[in-house]
Amino acid sequence: MFKQALTIALAFIGVIVGAGFASGQEAMQFFVAFGEKGFWGVALGSALMMITGIAILQLASYFQATEHTAVFDKISGPITSRILDWSTLATLFSIGFVMFAGGGSNVSQQFHGVPLWVGATIMLVLVLLCGLLDVDRVTNVIGAITPFIIIFIVVAVGYTLVTADVDMAALNAYTVENVSTTLPNWWLAALNYTGLNVMCAVSMSIVIGGNFLNNRAVGIGGIVGGIIYLILLILLVGSLFVAAPEVNGEDLPVLALITNIHPVLGYLMSLAIFGMIFNTAVSMFYAIGKRLTRKQPRRFYPVYAVACLIGFALSFIGFQSLVSNVYPILGYLGLLMIVVMVFNWTTKREKISVEGKRRARAHFLVKRRLDPRYRFTKKNERDLRKLAAASTMETQEFIDAIAEEIHEDLEKDSEIDYDRTDPSPSVTYVTHTKPEVPGGAPKQRDLDFGEEGGD
């Protein structure tokens, strides 16, 4: 379970810790601009982000959502749901085309003289290719890139904090007077920043959370992700605060920070930031495609590709300008999302807990049913049928989803291979022993609890 939770946490952080975070531009405008008070904003924003992240992931798992309206429609009225839906789509698209701008700025800043369109075009090609993957592989791609940016940020900020000659009073005065922001005060900036991240992450987080049945693992993933987020944000804001006189005014302050340490590290960091920009771009456009084609899934890739191309065209407005003017608006929309998500998660926590225990018990029973090494009694079958009927999911969907998870686990077993067929309306799992196992006669067990008969 912990491995599953860690996968969820890394994917969740990969969605949140995107281009603005990895570049440092958001940290400068939302926290460093307020001097020492910005650190209170870090604490406020991180706590709110952790709570909201757990709420989103667990609600998505509870409803087994494949796109964000599957959750919105069940936790809010039609008007509120429509507002959240269109606000989310606007955010996904806005963040998406800002990412193309970020890709162009990243390459242009590190490789002097390279036009902005080169980096943006490379980003477009990579995002278009990634859209051909399914949600499991996209989640793995996002989670796989995340550790690299974490390592770079920790190294960079650690070195900066250790070697910097810190004069807090002077730095406080400099940041307040010279670092530009469109927000009026530290606490509103912290709330706005968290709202922005929630709007940025909610759709893909729902896709990620809905891909897992285990509510407990999803919740732990949200907690671990929230802790990582807090640590990274404290380190990032702290390092940019002490280095503000050197990096203020750059499109990508973190890249400038690391380049000042050593040029070679700057090139490596440029690649890492590009990876995080890619993470965020894929998350945004993948979620848009899923939402717009929820009733026609076969049209996903054409819609995904068109959205990417339109975003690419709009990206040439400029990265820093887009962050300053677009992000605060999206942040205010995000505050409504936070209220709706956290309120509904709080009121449904008991139901979520009960459903989680129900799925855990069913997981145990289905594993006994599918694995020929264990005895599966008539009482077990009746218990499983009751669990399936009581679940928030449709009976066959409930069984199929659990069986799918167990099938993957059992295939890793060193003694038994599991081949699967899926004849409608029931799901049949055919199991057979490997040749080296004594008594290797093929066995077959049908898994179909949609009807009361069959005892």
User: Average pLDDT for residues 85-89, to the nearest whole number?
Assistant: 85
Higher pLDDT: 416 or 174? It is 174
Of 173-177, 321-325, 422-426, the range with the lowest mean pLDDT is 422-426
Strand, coil or helix: what is 417? strand
Nearest-CA neighbor of 258 among 250, 248, 269? 269
Helical H segments across 252-394, by residue range: 253-261, 263-292, 300-314, 319-347, 349-370, 378-390
- pLDDT band of residue 425 (cuts 50, 70, 90) is very low
Tens of pLDDT, residue by residue over 176-211, are 999 988 889 999 999 999 998 888 788 878 888 888
User: Average pLDDT for residues 401-422, to the nearest whole number?
Assistant: 56
- pLDDT band of residue 410 (cuts 50, 70, 90) is low
Nearest-CA neighbor of 55 among 119, 4, 12? 12
- Beta carbons within 8 Å of 8's beta carbon, 6+ residues apart: 57, 208, 209, 212, 217, 218, 221, 222, 225
Helices and strands: H and E segment counts in the chain: 19, 3
Of 285-299, 378-392, 427-441, the range with the lowest mean pLDDT is 427-441
Q: Is 308 left (phi over 0), alpha (psi -120 to 50) or beta?
A: alpha
Higher pLDDT: 331 or 432? It is 331
Strand order in the sheet with 443-447: 416-421, 427-433, 443-447
- Beta carbons within 8 Å of 217's beta carbon, 6+ residues apart: 1, 2, 4, 5, 8
Question: Does 265 score more than 70 pLDDT?
Answer: yes
| Angle of helix 263-292 versus helix 253-261 axis, rounded to 10 | 150
What's the confidence (pLDDT) of residue 339? 94
Question: Does 75 score more than 70 pLDDT?
Answer: yes
User: Average pLDDT for residues 133-148, to the nearest whole number?
Assistant: 67
- Select 2-347's CATH number: 1.10.4160.10, 1.10.10.10, 1.10.1270.20, 2.40.50.140: 1.10.4160.10
- Percent of the chain whose predicted confidence (pLDDT) is above 70: 83
The residues of the chain that CATH labels 1.10.4160.10 are: 2-347
CA atoms 187, 191, 197, 201: torsion sign: positive
Question: Does 449 score more than 60 pLDDT?
Answer: no
What's the confidence (pLDDT) of residue 211? 84
Question: Does 49 score more than 90 pLDDT?
Answer: yes
Higher pLDDT: 112 or 40? It is 40
Helical H segments across 76-133, by residue range: 78-110, 116-130
Tens of pLDDT, residue by residue over 324-347, are 777 788 888 899 899 999 999 999
- pLDDT band of residue 444 (cuts 50, 70, 90) is very low
Q: How far is CA 340 from the centre of its chain?
A: 19
What's the confidence (pLDDT) of residue 434? 35
- pLDDT band of residue 454 (cuts 50, 70, 90) is very low
Question: Does 257 score more than 50 pLDDT?
Answer: yes
Of 138-147, 281-290, 366-375, the range with the lowest mean pLDDT is 138-147
- pLDDT band of residue 446 (cuts 50, 70, 90) is very low
**Euclidean distance between CA atoms 236 and 188, whole angstroms:** 19
Average pLDDT for the chain: 80
Map tokens 């179909």 to a residue: 448
What's the confidence (pLDDT) of residue 145? 67
Question: Does 139 score more than 70 pLDDT?
Answer: no
> Which DSSP letter does residue 296 get?
-
What's the confidence (pLDDT) of residue 443? 44
What's the confidence (pLDDT) of residue 186? 95
Question: Does 439 score more than 70 pLDDT?
Answer: no
Q: How far is CA 39 from the centre of its chain?
A: 25
What's the confidence (pLDDT) of residue 306? 93
User: Average pLDDT for residues 102-127, to the nearest whole number?
Assistant: 85
Question: Does 36 score more than 90 pLDDT?
Answer: yes
> Which DSSP letter does residue 179 get?
S
- Percent of the chain whose predicted confidence (pLDDT) is above 90: 20
